Chain A
């Protein structure tokens, strides 16, 4: 079973600051997916296929990575970006879906 480790657990950033969240997999994976969850709300697909932005996601967000190391980056932090971000991977045999433990992004 592949384990996803996110870092940092919590991060505070000022508006305009660049933010990077990392997700490391215990074994190599082909793609990484990211979700944004605001307090009291359902998760939303944010990034798919490692680097593609879901519909409506601002282009200040980007995703990158390969193998066992992936990241989500916010080029210039905005107050509306405060949320918890989860990475997720998929294994095919048998199909299983694993989430990282989440990174809480706060406004400084």
Chain B
């Protein structure tokens, strides 16, 4: 059974940093592109970052580019999101998600339960 378990969320002040982790199990982690998707309270879904199988390629929307860094440790089947210079608008539930199998990521076929990040003074 595919499982994605996020951790590391919490309350953080504007301008500070936070690092999220996602522990994956139930599949060969190194074979899949992985991603982070967030959802602000009572709002829709927003893609935040994607990383290739080896970690050599990363992709971000303009809203987080230069502030967030996605990374992975295939030996530990773990995904990370380093978030710097946090803003109030980064307040959201952050989901770890697996991209579909194959070299083209297209969509997200499994999601974690999410972890809440609140940016407030």
Contacts of B47 in A (CB 8 A): 96-99
A17-57 contacts to B, CB under 8 A, are: 31, 33, 35, 37, 42-45, 48, 54
Q: Are B59 and A100 in contact (CB under 8 A)?
A: no
B76-111 contacts to A, CB under 8 A, are: 95, 100, 104-111
A60-108 contacts to B, CB under 8 A, are: 86, 88, 90, 92, 94-102
**Residues of chain B whose beta carbon lies under 8 Å from any beta carbon of chain A:** 35, 37, 44-47, 50, 59, 61, 95, 100, 104-114
Contacts of B104 in A (CB 8 A): 92
- Known A-B contacts A42-B95, A42-B114, A96-B61; the reply to A48 vs B107 at CB < 8 A is yes
- Known A-B contacts A43-B45, A96-B61, A99-B47; the reply to A90 vs B107 at CB < 8 A is yes
- Known A-B contacts A42-B95, A42-B112; the reply to A94 vs B106 at CB < 8 A is no
Q: What separation, in Å, do the CA atoms of A97 and B106 have in the docked complex?
A: 8
**Residues of chain A whose beta carbon lies under 8 Å from any beta carbon of chain B:** 31, 33, 35, 37, 42-45, 48, 54, 86, 88, 90, 92, 94-102
Q: What's the dominant secondary structure at chain A's contact region? A: strand
Identify 17 residue pairs between A and B in the complex whose beta-carbon atoms are under 8 Å apart, listed by A's number.
A31-B106, A33-B107, A35-B45, A42-B95, A42-B111, A42-B112, A43-B111, A44-B111, A48-B107, A90-B105, A95-B59, A95-B105, A96-B47, A96-B59, A97-B37, A97-B108, A102-B44
Q: What separation, in Å, do the CA atoms of A43 and B45 have in the docked complex?
A: 9
Q: What separation, in Å, do the CA atoms of A54 and B106 have in the docked complex?
A: 14
Contacts of A31 in B (CB 8 A): 106
Q: What separation, in Å, do the CA atoms of A35 and B45 have in the docked complex?
A: 10
Q: What separation, in Å, do the CA atoms of A39 and B104 have in the docked complex?
A: 30
Contacts of B35 in A (CB 8 A): 97
Give which listed residue, B45, B59, B105, B111, contacts A99 with CB less than 8 A: B45
- Known A-B contacts A42-B114, A95-B50, A97-B50; the reply to A86 vs B109 at CB < 8 A is no
Q: What separation, in Å, do the CA atoms of A9 and B108 have in the docked complex?
A: 23
* Interface pairs A-B: 4 shortest CB-CB: A97-B47, A33-B107, A42-B111, A99-B45
